[in-house]
Amino acid sequence: MSNIGWIGTGVMGGSMAGHLIKAGHHLAIFTRTESKAKELIDAGARWVGSAQEAAKNQDFVCIMVGYPRDVRQVVFGKEGVINTIKPGSIFVDFTTSEPSLAMEIAEALKKREVFSLDAPVSGGDVGARNATLSIMIGGDEE
């Protein structure tokens, strides 16, 4: 199974990460409030202390955070994933964000030999809980 760094375990991200754990994937998770990750930790996820640590040595790095400013902080901030994400991995942003930010992230990660996907979701918290979200994926044609 895949090693996944997951950042953001709120209403949507928590349910999405939970489905990955149930499917047998290994998750290293980070969110601003550790207590919001308790259920996932109890289910087998490993808590880490920063987004940067969540990205380290993972096959996939997925984020589901609130707003574009949060996406920017998670990727480019002092403890951002861009500092530790490994070449050859895949970055997926499930946050509904700004196309210009998605392009900026893709360009920066490409320089680090990381493939980036912008993948906002539709279906709300019920869709996340029931694993019925629609995912609109955009990325390089490769």
**At 86, which CATH number?**
3.40.50.720
CA proximity to 48, closest of 5, 1, 93 = 5
What is each CA distance from 89 to 4, 50, 85, 109, in whole angstroms? 10, 18, 7, 10
User: Distance between CA atoms of 70 and 64, rounded to whole angstroms?
Assistant: 9
- pLDDT given for residue 139 in this prediction: 93
137 in a structural domain = no
Rounded mean pLDDT, 67-72: 97
Helix (H) or strand (E) holding 45: none
Collapse the DSSP code of 30 into the 3-class scheme (helix H, G, I; strand E, B; otherwise coil) and give the result.
Answer: strand
In terms of DSSP bridges, do strands 121-122 and 115-118 run parallel, antiparallel, or are they unpaired? unpaired
Q: How many domains does the chain have?
A: 1
80-124 confidence digits (pLDDT tens): 999 999 999 999 999 999 999 999 999 999 999 999 999 999 999
Instruction: For residue 53, give both structure tokens.
Output: 């640590």
Containing structural domain, residue 122: 3-130
Confidence of residue 140 (pLDDT cuts 50, 70, 90): confident
135 in a structural domain = no
